């Protein structure tokens, strides 16, 4: 933005001898009260010069207009300061979130079986699956917002059996969930570092404000579940833990 003072705008000090100022300038009013000064436009001057500043065309915008506002049909109009590396990293994170969601959905299906019958675990993993899918959709929305292109990748087929001879299914499943949450956290930190590397402050802010804090809380919560299930073992206590999960979910959905 170029700014310059208008040559048609000036103020005459109330010095001796300036009784008849030129007709193309501004001058003090007939009365000067203390240090206060009033001015008026001289005859024939433009009202646009009253501010004392003239706005010139934005030369820097004119020079880069084709880059800032592309004309090709397939180019994004919203894209600005969003690198190809950032775009690829966001697509990778979308794939991570969908894969984790898919595994949680498989865990839900396992614990919902009639011969397993742990509804608390089933609902916990169902909610977890929905949450991770919501994260993937949030990244998809952000990708579109920044002018990137969403490219969905393949999702690996998860296991369908989660019973463990030594640990039992409940502890094994919760340890798997903890591993998945830590993996997701690592991927989020990698995405944040890509934003830092490319000076993408908006991407960094999005990851930090929307995901990192929540991820730490999830890791802490599931870590406590793992510690409690290790104390319980594979016996009758697993059923009581399942009831605890049911009670927590009732409170969560009620709130």
Which residues belong to the annotated binding site for Fe cation?
97, 132, 135, 181, 215
Q: How far apart are CA 222 and CA 181, in angstroms?
A: 9
Q: How far apart are CA 162 and CA 177, in angstroms?
A: 12
Which residues on neighbouring strands pair with residue 3, listed in sequence order? Answer: 55
Q: Return the CA Rg of the chain.
A: 33
Q: How far apart are CA 72 and CA 76, in angstroms?
A: 9
How many other C-beta atoms are found inside a 10 Å radius of the C-beta of residue 75? 10
Q: How far apart are CA 183 and CA 181, in angstroms?
A: 5
**Helix, strand, or coil here: 98?**
helix
Q: Give, as one character, the DSSP assignment of residue 56.
A: P
Extended beta strands in the chain, E state: 3-5, 53-55
Q: How far apart are CA 189 and CA 109, in angstroms?
A: 30
The phi and psi torsions of 28 (rounded to 5 degrees) equal -65, 155
Annotated binding site: 97, 132, 135, 181, 215
Q: Give, as one character, the DSSP assignment of residue 26.
A: B
- Is residue 100 within 8 Å of 130, Cβ to Cβ? no
Chain length of the chain: 255
């Amino acid at each position: 933005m170029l700014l310059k003072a208008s040559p048609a705008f000036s103020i005459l000090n109330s010095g001796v001898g300036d009784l008849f100022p030129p007709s193309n300038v501004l001058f003090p009013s007939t009365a000067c009260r203390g240090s206060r000064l009033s001015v008026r436009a001289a005859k024939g001057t433009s009202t646009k010069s009253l501010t004392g500043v003239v706005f010139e065309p934005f030369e820097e915008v004119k020079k880069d207009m084709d880059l800032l506002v592309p004309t090709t049909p397939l180019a994004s109009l919203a894209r600005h300061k969003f690198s190809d590396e950032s775009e690829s990293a966001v697509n990778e994170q979308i794939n991570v979130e969908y894969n984790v969601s898919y595994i949680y959905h498989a865990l839900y299906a396992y614990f919902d079986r009639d011969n397993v019958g742990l509804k608390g675990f089933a609902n916990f993993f169902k909610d977890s699956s929905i949450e991770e899918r919501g994260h993937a959709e949030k990244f998809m929305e952000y990708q579109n917002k920044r002018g990137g292109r969403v490219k969905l990748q393949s999702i690996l087929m998860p296991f369908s059996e989660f019973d463990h001879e030594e640990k039992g299914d409940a502890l094994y499943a919760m340890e798997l969930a903890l591993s998945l949450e830590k993996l997701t956290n690592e991927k989020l930190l990698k995405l944040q570092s890509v934003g830092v590397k490319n000076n993408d402050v908006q991407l960094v802010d999005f990851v930090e404000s929307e995901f990192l804090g929540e991820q730490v809380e999830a890791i802490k919560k599931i870590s406590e579940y793992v510690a409690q299930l290790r104390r319980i073992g594979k016996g009758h206590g697993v059923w009581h833990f399942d009831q605890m999960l049911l009670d927590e979910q009732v409170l969560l959905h009620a709130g």
